[in-house]
Amino acid sequence: MREMAWPAATLDEYEKLVIRMNTPRVVIDNGVCPDVTLIKVDSARKHGILLEAVQVLTDLDLSIRKAYISSDGRWFMDVFHVSDSSGRKLADESLVSFIEHSLAAADSNLDEQTEDASRLLTTLELTGTDRPGLFSELCAVLSDLDFAIADASVWTYNGRAAALVTIEGLESGSSVGDTDKIALVTTRLRNVLNRDHDLRGAKTSVSTAAVGHADRRLHQLMLADRDYESAAVASASASSSRPSVTVQNWTERGYSVVGVQCRDRPKLLFDVVCTLTDMEYVIFHGTVDTGSDRAHLELYVRHLDGSPIRSEAERQRVIQCLQAAIERRATEALRLELCTRDRQGLLADVTRTFRENGLSITRAEIRTKEQMAMDTFYVTDAAGNPANPKTIDAVVDRVGRDSLKVVQDRPSRPIAKDRSAAEEMGAGLFYLGSLVKRNLYNLGLIRSCS
């Protein structure tokens, strides 16, 4: 029997249809609410599509004030209420256009950006036991071996530390190709990380490929390092201040319902969605609401195979992992920003100054652009308590007041003026009179708004 051949024109039209169906459709509306922009994303459902959308918005330092998530069969729809860092709607047309383009092609855009930035560089992934001065010691090793730190991200949580450090050789300024030198640097870094004979073992790995999204990779490293296991013990005495996370099964509908109540802050939704996605749960429906200084999330999830959470042990693991994901970035540490011309050994010198003055770095973002160092450090004293103002003044004087600044973090959610929360909610839900609201209401996931 002869195989049927499709006409070329027919195949072309079919391929175009497939592309159109799988490319997210984005609508951005500035006319419904006076102080938020509504962003609607329609897409064929696939694992991770929600994370991609949230990642685009949070990377632009936008606040997601509310969100409605709904899957209907093979289709997925998200609606976000978004404001800029000042609590206003998005008035910049170039920014709106960029968001439309990025959301419509989130995968390729994010991959291209990372690949361009990392093409000629080598990235080290490090995990181990945290201690005061650890990052300073790591910087000193790299400086001693003539490596420049182009970029780095460092997180600490519950006595554990994870870092992504992108390096380049000082002589060539390009890719580090000497395998013997790479072996030497990884050995020395592992010795620094494992100085206290870490029972879990310090881990170092090297990659010359694009690492991907830094924050997501740090969540993955700390999840793999099981930093959440010590959270229940370490925070037992402060349970009242921890994020409230509940997980219950809705047997009739075959969902597990994840509830989160905690203090609102930037990138909160990203951290929750990232963790659930990397634990291989699919978010089918959900609502996100922030008001005053609190955030309320209700997410309806299943495993990739369509089943809900199966056991009490799994339920407890989800709770612990989400609490850890929320708390990793939440910090009461003081924020210091360094902006100065980059030079050999700069980061080693600055972090040594912190260490010599009894400051501990709980989180850091290191960026180098056009020969300028633009670094952010979150610091406490060696015991994890707020740093002494006199100590901070001494450190700023030593590094240079023109280079190192103390920065007060902006409020987690600016409160809009001349508009009550109830009015905003009503306007937003009127817009959602649509498919998202109907889906959530028909499933019994939200109450009638009539």
The predicted-structure confidence for 329-388, as pLDDT tens digits, reads as follows 987 899 999 999 999 899 999 999 999 999 999 999 999 998 999 999 999 999 999 999
In a domain, 106, yes or no: yes
3-state SS, residue 218: helix
> The sheet that has 281-291: what strands, in order across it?
25-29, 37-44, 75-83, 63-72, 281-291, 294-303, 255-263, 244-250
CA 82/CA 428 separation, integer angstroms = 11
Q: Same domain, yes or no, for 325 and 234? A: yes
- The pLDDT confidence band at residue 199, using thresholds 50, 70 and 90, is low
Q: Is the dihedral of CA 234, 239, 241, 247 positive or negative?
A: positive
d(CA 331, CA 308): 33
Q: What are phi and psi of 421, to 5 degrees?
A: -65, -35
**Residue 419: inside a domain:** no
Question: Does position 428 have pLDDT exceeding 50, yes or no?
Answer: no
Note whether 215 and 359 are same-domain residues.
Answer: yes
Query: Residues 125, 217: one domain?
Result: yes
Handedness of CA 372, 378, 381, 387 (dihedral sign): positive
Q: Is the dihedral of CA 83, 86, 90, 95 positive or negative?
A: negative
Nearest alpha carbon to residue 53 among 27, 31, 84: 27
Task: Give the span between the Cα atoms of 57 and 65, in whole angstroms.
Answer: 12
User: What does the pLDDT read at residue 449?
Assistant: 36
pLDDT higher than threshold 80 for residue 164: yes
Q: How far is CA 111 from the centre of its chain?
A: 16
Same domain as 257, residue 355: no
How many percent of the chain have pLDDT more than 70? 76
CA quadruple 71, 74, 79, 84: dihedral sign: positive
Whether 234 maps to a domain, the answer reads yes
Q: How does DSSP classify residue 415?
A: P
Domain count along the chain: 3
Who wins on pLDDT, 312 or 233? 312
Residue 35 binned pLDDT confidence (cut-offs 50, 70, 90)? confident
User: Is 323 a residue whose pLDDT tops 50?
Assistant: yes
Domain final residue, candidates 310, 329, 348? 329
- Residue 333's nearest CA partner among 297, 371, 362 is 362
Angstrom distance (rounded) from CA 27 to CA 25: 7
219 and 236 housed in the same domain: no
Q: Is 374 contained in some domain?
A: yes
**Choice between 54 and 73, residue whose per-residue pLDDT is larger:** 54
CATH code, domain carrying 171? 3.30.70.260
**What pLDDT does 235 receive?**
47
Handedness of CA 48, 54, 55, 57 (dihedral sign): positive
> Within this chain, do residues 123 and 219 fall inside the same structural domain, yes or no?
yes
> How far is residue 398's CA from residue 201's CA, in Å, rounded to a whole number?
36
Here the tokens at position 425 are 């909610």
Among 113-117, 182-186, 228-232, 322-326, the range scoring the smallest mean pLDDT is 113-117
What mean pLDDT do residues 134-142 have?
96
CA distance 138 to 155: 14
**Higher pLDDT residue, 20 or 421?**
20
C-alpha to C-alpha distance for 406 and 384, rounded to whole angstroms: 18
**Residue 357 located in a structural domain:** yes
Tell which of 295, 329, 363 closes a domain.
329
Q: Residues 213, 338: one domain?
A: yes
Same domain, 87 and 158: no
Q: With a threshold of 0.75, does the pTM exceed it?
A: yes
Length of the chain: 450
Q: Are 393 and 335 members of one domain?
A: yes
Helix (H) or strand (E) holding 129: strand 122-129
One-character DSSP codes across 229-273: GGHHHHTGGGGGGSPEEEEEEETTTTEEEEEEEEE--TTHHHHHH
Q: Is the pLDDT at 261 greater than 60, yes or no?
A: yes
> Residue 417 has what pLDDT?
44
* Three-class SS state of 11: helix
Q: How far apart are CA 303 and CA 118, in angstroms?
A: 33
Q: What pLDDT, on the 0 to 100 scale, is given for residue 22? A: 60
Residue 108: exposure state from Cβ atoms within 10 A (0-12, 13-18, ≥19)? exposed
205 and 236 inside one domain: no
- Indicate whether 13 belongs to any domain: no
**146 or 5, higher pLDDT:** 146
C-beta neighbour count of 287 within 10 angstroms: 18
Residue 418 has pLDDT above 50, yes or no: no
Confidence of residue 194 (pLDDT cuts 50, 70, 90): confident
Has residue 11 been placed in a domain?
no
Take residue 149 and report the two structure tokens written for it.
Answer: 């730190």
* 34 domain residue, yes or no: yes
Tell me the residue range of the domain where 365 lies: 119-225+331-407
